[in-house]
Structure 1
C-alpha cells in the first residue's frame, strides 16, 4: 500500500494529482485501480474527478510492480555472493525468451563479475522473495541449505474460505501430473506421490476470506496452492486450483500468495557472512491490509 499526503497550492482533480505524482501509473491503471476499489481518498472511494487539497490523504492498494520502471530488479539484499530480490506477481522467474526475473538479474549484472543464477523458484503468479547466487561457491552453499531445509520460508496468502481449525499442520502426499502441469494431495505414497507438510496460522478473517501465515516444511511444486485447495480453502486468484467465479468477482488475476519472509541460520562460511543469522521480510502486500480492515470480503 502506498500512502500520499496531498500538498497542493490549490484544489486539483484526483486523477491529475496522481498522474503528476506517479506518472508511471498511466490513466489506464488509475481507472482499473478505481474500478477494483484500490484507491481511497481520506478512507473512502471517490471518483477520479474529485478535487483534492493540502492535508488530504490518498491510499493506493496496488501492486508495487505498477510503480516500477520497466525491466527493473527490486533488490532486498545484495553483496558479491548473494542477491535477494522481490519478484512481482506475473513475472516468470525464468523463460526461454522475453522478460523474466533471471533476465533482469543478468542485465543488472552487466559490467560486474556477478553471474546470477536461481537457487529456487516461485510460480509466475506468486510474488515475493527469490534468492540468487552470484558465484559457483555461493550456489553450492545456498542450494545445500535449501536441500537440508535449513533455510526457512514463510508466506502470506488470502484464501477463499476460512480454514477450520484456524491453525494447524497439513500433511499427506503430493502427486504430480507432469503432462497436465498440475498436482494433487493424496492420502497415500505412490510412484509419483511424495510427502508434503505445510504449517498455517490464520491472522485475520473478513467475510468469505482468510489471511494466513504459512510456513513451508517441505517444498514441492504448487504445494501451498494444492494444500489449501485440498481443505476447501483455495488461494484467492488461483486459476488452476481455485474458485474462478470468486477470482473474477474480486478482480484477482494472480494468486494472493507472497513469499514474505526468509530466515537464514547462523553460517560459518565466509561467502555467506552477509546473510548469516539474518531474517528478511517484505511489507505485507496490499490485499493483506484490505482483509485485515474488512475492505475485501
Structure 2
C-alpha cells in the first residue's frame, strides 16, 4: 500500500494526478483498481473525476509492479497455432479484451507482431476475467466464420475443471434448468421455467476427487450462457471456490482465493469436418495446464 499526500497549487482530477505520478496507471487500470476498492481518497472511495487538492491523502492498495511502467506485456501462451487459428491459454485475472492495458487479446497481438507475421487475431468466444484456460482466436475471416459456426452448433466440446465448496450429490449428473440474466446488476439466476425470458442451460459434471469440504469436478459446458457454470453449480449448493459473486465469501477468505477456481481445460473438435481447409482439426483435443488448485485437491493439501 502506498500513501500519497497531494501536493498541487490548484485542484486537479484524481485520475490525472495519479497518471502523472505513475504513467503505468492508464484509464483502464485505474478504473479496475477503483472497482476493486483499491483507491481511497481521504479514507473513502471517490470517483476518479473527483478533484484533489493540496493536503489530500490518497491510498493506493497496489503493488510496485502494478505501479511501475511496463516494458511490454507478458508473453501470450499459445497451445496451438496454424495459418488460420490460435488456441491461447488465458491466466486468471486478466480480461479477454477491453480497455485494460493488459488483456489476452493484446498479449496475442503483441506476440504476433514480435514474430513479424503482420497478422491480426479475432476472439471467437469469451471467458470471465477470473476464469483461466483456453480461448479460440481466428486469424482471418474464413477461420472466424468456421469457428463461430462450430461453437454455435455446439460441435466443439468444452470441458472445464473446477473446485467447489461442497461435494455434489450425486457425484455426476447432467443439469437442465433455465437461466435469467439481470444485465443491470451483472448477475444471472437459475430458474425452473422460461418466465421473464429465461433461456435453457445444460451443464454436465463428474466428480474427479474430493478433499475435506471440497470437490474437483470436470464440467461439460453444453450450452454457453453468461456465468452458466458458476451459477448452475451454486444453484445445487456447490459454488465454485473463489467465486465472489455466486460463492461462499467466508470460505473464499479463509482459503485465500482471489479468483474463481475454474479453468477452461479442454477443447475437442468434432470427429468429422467437411470443410477441407479445417479438416486437419477433426478429432483434435487440446488442453490447458491442470490448475494448481486441482492438484492440491487431488493430493489432499487443499481441503
Please, what TM-score do these two structures have when normalized by structure 1?
0.75
Q: Match of 1:93?
A: 96
Unaligned runs of at least 5 residues, structure 2:
1-71
Give the one of 254, 274, 299 matched to 1:293. 299
Q: Distance in 1 between matches of 2:287 and 2:111?
A: 22
1:237 & 1:101 partners in 2: Cα distance? 21
How far apart are the structure 2 equivalents of 1:192 and 1:245? 33
Greater than 4 Å deviation, 4+ residue runs? none
Taking the TM superposition and a 5 Å limit, the aligned residue runs for 1:82-231 are: 82-110=85-113, 111-231=116-236
Q: Does 1:278 pair with 2:284?
A: yes
**How far off is 1:262 after superposition?**
0.6
Aligned equivalents of 1:233, 1:188: Cα separation in 2: 21
| Cα-to-partner distance string for 1:32-64 (whole Å, 9 max, x where unaligned) | xxxxxxxxxxxxxxxxxxxxxxxxxxxxxxxxx
Does the aligned pair in 1 maintain the 2:211–2:302 contact within 8 Å?
yes
- Deviation of 1:274 (Å): 4.0
Query: Aligned with 2:195: secondary structure?
Result: coil
Map 1:10-89 to 2 at 5 A. Answer: 70-89=73-92
Q: How far is 1:273 from its partner?
A: 3.6
User: Is the CA contact 1:138–1:271 (under 8 Å) kept in the aligned structure 2?
Assistant: no
Greater alpha carbon shift after TM alignment, 242-251 vs 103-112? 103-112
TM-score, with length taken from structure 2: 0.73
Residue number in structure 1 paired with 2:30: none
Q: Distance in 2 between matches of 1:278 and 1:77?
A: 11
Task: Report the CA distance between 1:113 and its aligned residue.
Answer: 4.1
Coordinate RMSD, CA, aligned? 1.3
Paired with 2:77 and 2:204, the residues of 1 have a C-alpha distance of 28
Q: Which residue of the partner structure matches residue 12 of structure 2?
A: none
Maintained 8 Å contact 1:226/1:241: yes
SS at match of 1:171: strand
